[in-house]
Each structure stands twice: as C-alpha cells, then as structure tokens.
A and B are shown apart, each in its own frame.
Chain A
C-alpha cells in the first residue's frame, strides 16, 4: 500500500562542504543517495547490513555506516565522503602509506579502511597493532590484505604521534 506518506521527502544537507537539496524516497540509504543522486561513488555498497564497512562515511564528524542510515536521516547534517576527506588532503599520509605497503589490492574496501584508520588514529595515534586490528575488524577486505593495511596504519600512527610530540 502506498500513501502520500511514502512519497519522497525533501532534504537539505552539506556533502563535502557543498550544500545539497534533493527529494528522496524514505527507504533510500545514505550510501545509495551519495552514489546514485550525487555520483560520489567512492563509498561502496558491500553487505548492506553493517558488517563489511565498505560504505563508511562521516556524518557530523562521526564515522557511520552509509548502508545503516537513511538519506532522510541526514537532513540538516554535514556529510563527508572519501572524496571530500581525500580531496582536502586530510589523509594524504594514509593514502601514501597504503600505496607503499601494498595495502590497496582491489581497492573495494579502501575508502572505508582509510576513513576507519583515520578515526582510529584520531582517537589514539599511538594505537598498537592489536588495537588497530581490533578496530579494523569492522571492515572486511575480500583480498585478505589485512596485514599490509594494519602495517600502513601503524606506520602512519607512529609518524603522526612523533610529529605532534
């Protein structure tokens, strides 16, 4: 049964600093909105139940699963995707370390890995290998490139904490 309530709703938000206004269907996920409406295809759609982390984005500064938030819920929010975060150079060191450590592999999980790694190091730049592994356990790499990813994050953590000492 479809009623007027189920029709599209207008939302306004900023995405990577740009004001956006669109009509969306309530059932559209935030990650689908970003990919299909705004053509920001860096965030990937993997499992669609919050297990794989490929859809990770930031909403009002917090890391969230783009598949577990509805686009309508982002109304009035500040959304940042990998395009915005990388475009500003915020994670240049992580991107470089991923390349150097061969942590990129097929690249499908990379945007989520980078955003999660950035948050891990923001919370604790001195995170050790076990802490990094635990925190990255929410992001699947289907190439199983975990070791290289953990190593890249650890190196950036060491550099960042050394630089701020």
Chain B
C-alpha cells in the first residue's frame, strides 16, 4: 500500500523543528529512522498531516563520553551504536542488545532515539535504558528536560514526551566496577520482535548478587522490571536453586498478555527460561575480550 499524502519538512535546526511542531500540532509526526513510522504510513495505520524529518539536524548523532556518562545522540544509527567501541566498552548491555534489532538494513537506518520514542513494549532498547538507569534528555522550545528512563515509558507507544518536544539524547551513567550486564531474547525468527526479552544489569560482590535490575520486554505495556525476582537474588550467590526461586518469583512479577504469537502462559514460561539463561551467563568470567573495532562507529574520544 502507499501512504496518504502529507506535507514534508526537513528542518536544519531544532528551533525550526519546534516551530513546525507548533504549526501542525498533534497531527504532525517526527520522522527519524522511519523503520516503524514508514510501514505505518504505507499501511495507512498512520495518516499524519505533516512529517517533520529530523535526519538533517546537526549534532544529534554523536556518541561521546562526558562526566555524566556516555551520551548517545538520538539520531545515532543503530548499526553505528552496534559497532561503537565506546558503547562496547562503557555500555556492554546495549552492545549485546543491538544485533537483536531487526536486520542489517533496518539497523543501518533505524535510530537509537527513534526506538525509545516509539516505545514499542517488545523493543530491546527501552528495556536496556531502564535497566541501566539512564536519563532521557528531551528538548522543547526554550527548555530541556531530563527524564529518568524508568519514568519515560508510560504505556504502549506512549512516553513522557509532551507536545512540542523532541528526544535529543540519552545519558548512560558511568558503570562502576563489579557491575555486569547481559541481554538476550527469544524470537520466532532472528530479527523479529521478541516473544520475550530480558536485560539484566547487576552488581556482583564476592560472588553474590549485591543488586540486580531485571527488565523484561514483550510481557506488558512497557518494559517491566521484575522486582520480586530481583529481591530473591539480592545478597545471594546465583546458584541453580537461587535462580529457580527467582524464576518462581516471576509468577508474581509478570502478567504477560496473550496474543496471536503466544499465550501469556507460554511467555511466562519463556521468561523463566531466559532468566536462568541470562543470569547463568553472568556466572561466567567477565565479558570476553571485545573484538577489535570494525571501524564504523562515529565515536569521539575513543
């Protein structure tokens, strides 16, 4: 199918983009990577009066280190993030999650910020930023807001972004010694949306789990943090019995929906499988040596 007609604008400054957002109001849509929006246009699930293409806004694709942590620009392409030595070194959780997103050609075009702003509950990056305790920076005319990732996702395709605002960058706080992370998901075909995905970020101390953040995708309207399973792990060595107890605690943490792809019961079962698989991986030696940079990242100060 083909999209319904729309006006097309390509601002070259943020101020110009804010003016356009004001001019068109809620009928306008921001076009970043377009890997979810354009299919919605093609199928006429979305019929906006205007597209505001932010791909040529300068500076929003930077990945750089600051005293606040690693800053990933909203327009950084997913494959750039995937191959970024800075991301691999400072945010291995995200480096692990990236290859699960779509396919080569999707990641070449899809953006880091676009995935967060869309807030698809089955997507990988929302779970990662929640697990990492990242901060989402958004800008509106004359103001900048910082929103903790855990408060950013409000519902299916719904975020804390207000009318007139644009997601500009994500700040991932520095990760201190002892913190380990892992990501995995179960999908029917590689690159498809996961039936269930899991981002784990935890601090190990003397072989025990001092703190754990377990964030699931595909099991609710937003990324879902498994608080009871986290409590089950706290202060304990991640041995098989402990993992099994944490898995049982998921019964109370998760109430996954049933849909055409899988029943809620199957999703809950898969969540348990993923939990023991991903946590089991954290028992292994520290992250394997990172493969040499394949030279495609746009990093600065690497």
What is A's interface to B at a CB cutoff of 8 Å? 1-3, 5-6, 9, 25-27, 29, 32, 48-50, 53, 56, 62-65, 67-70, 72-73, 75, 116, 119-120, 123, 133-135, 137-139
Contacts and interface: CB of A to CB of B under 8 A. Distances in A.
Contacts of A56: 105
Given A26-B8, A27-B3, A68-B109, A119 B55 contact: no
Given A135-B103, A135-B104, A68 B35 contact: yes
Given A64-B105, A69-B109, A138-B103, A5 B50 contact: yes
A26 B6 contact: yes
Main secondary structure of the interface of A (DSSP, over half): mixed
Nearest to B99: A134
B7 interface: yes
Interface of B: 1-10, 31, 34-35, 38-39, 41-43, 49-51, 53, 55, 77, 79, 102-106, 108-109, 189-191, 294
B190 A68 contact: no
Contacts of A75: 10
A53 B105 contact: yes
Given A27-B3, A64-B105, A69-B109, A138 B38 contact: no
A89 B223 CA distance: 47
Contact of A63 (B104, B189, B190): B104
A135 B35 CA distance: 17
B42 A134 contact: no
A6 B79 CA distance: 32
B41 A27 contact: yes
Contacts, number: 101
A157 to B, nearest CB: 15
A148 B286 CA distance: 39
A26 B105 contact: no
A69 B38 contact: yes
Nearest to A48: B42
A80 B237 CA distance: 54
Contact of B35 (A26, A27, A29, A50): A50
B86 to A, nearest CB: 19
B108 A26 contact: no
Contacts of A135: 103-104
B191 A68 contact: no
Given A26-B7, A62-B108, A50 B51 contact: no
Nearest to A115: B105
A26 B294 CA distance: 36
A48 to B, nearest CB: 5
A143 B167 CA distance: 42
A73 B104 contact: no
Nearest to B192: A137
Nearest to A4: B7
Nearest to B51: A26
Given A48-B2, A50-B35, A67-B42, 15 more contacts: A3-B7, A26-B7, A26-B8, A27-B6, A49-B42, A53-B103, A62-B108, A63-B104, A65-B109, A72-B53, A73-B53, A75-B10, A123-B294, A134-B191, A137-B103
Contacts of B38: 29, 50, 67-70
A3 B7 CA distance: 8
A69 B191 contact: no
A63 B105 contact: yes
Given A63-B108, A67-B42, A1 B49 contact: yes
B8 A70 contact: yes
